[in-house]
Amino acid sequence: MFKRLRENEDGVITIEAALVIPIMVTFILMLMCIVQIAIAEMALQESVSESTQTMAHYGYLAQEAEGLLENESGAMMDVIKEKGGSVTENNVVDFLVEKVGSHAEGKIGEFISNMSVSAQTGITEGLVKELYTDRVGDGKFFNAEGVKVEPAVNQETIEVVAEVPLEINLPFFSRTITIKKKSVEYIWNGA
């Protein structure tokens, strides 16, 4: 009886296929997922690098404009103080101009600086998202809306940090990974 079962090879290929095909399909899906992650990682790095280079290229002009605005706001407050005292003899107005003027000079500079930072954040985020979408498209896996950007600007450098979450869905396995990339460039100093 065992001899007859050993000699009968009917269904052997079916059993082998039933064992091998799920493993092969899982391996192929894992390989596709690794390729997608590598594409997303390269696209994010290129997007962050190009955005940082663009921001560094125009950073000098932005710093000069910010300095000019801060200087002009201080001069504007001086003119308001001078004209406020000479235009009116009302003590309340003089008091308000004096108090607002002394506090507003620092506040205007701070406001301009905050406005500059929020503008840089918005511009950088939009630029990184646009470049990322150009490189990988926009879909369920490559979602440019999930890209978070944190620019940091000081007197000499611009630093851009971006991260994007990617959802990995394989049979019996589901996970979200986050790719984070950073780029630093020196600001052109006009010399």
DSSP string, 29-93: HHHHHHHHHHHHHHHHHHHHHHHHHHHHHHHHHHHHHHHHHHHHHHHHHHHHHHHHHHH---HHH
Q: What 3-state DSSP class applies to 112?
A: helix
Say yes or no to pLDDT of 185 above 50: yes
Domain total in the chain: 1
Residue 129 lies in a domain: yes
For 26-79, the pLDDT digits (tens) are: 899 999 999 999 999 999 999 999 988 888 887 777 777 767 766 666 665 565
Q: What 3-state DSSP class applies to 180?
A: strand
Residue 1 lies in a domain: no
- The pLDDT of residue 24 is 93
> Which segments of 88-158 does DSSP mark as H helices, in order?
91-136
Residue 2 lies in a domain: no
Instruction: Give the domain range for residue 49.
Output: 10-186
Distance, CA of 54 to CA of 124 (rounded, Å):
9
Distances from the Cα of 39 to the Cα of 16, 44, 45, 191, angstroms: 35, 9, 10, 38
Distances from the Cα of 107 to the Cα of 62, 74, 122, 155, 191, angstroms: 19, 10, 22, 20, 31
Split at pLDDT 50, 70, 90, the class of 122 is confident
- The pLDDT of residue 75 is 61
- The position carrying tokens 């406001």 is 111
Residue 108 lies in a domain: yes
- Looking at mean pLDDT, say which of 47-51, 93-97, 115-119 comes out highest: 47-51
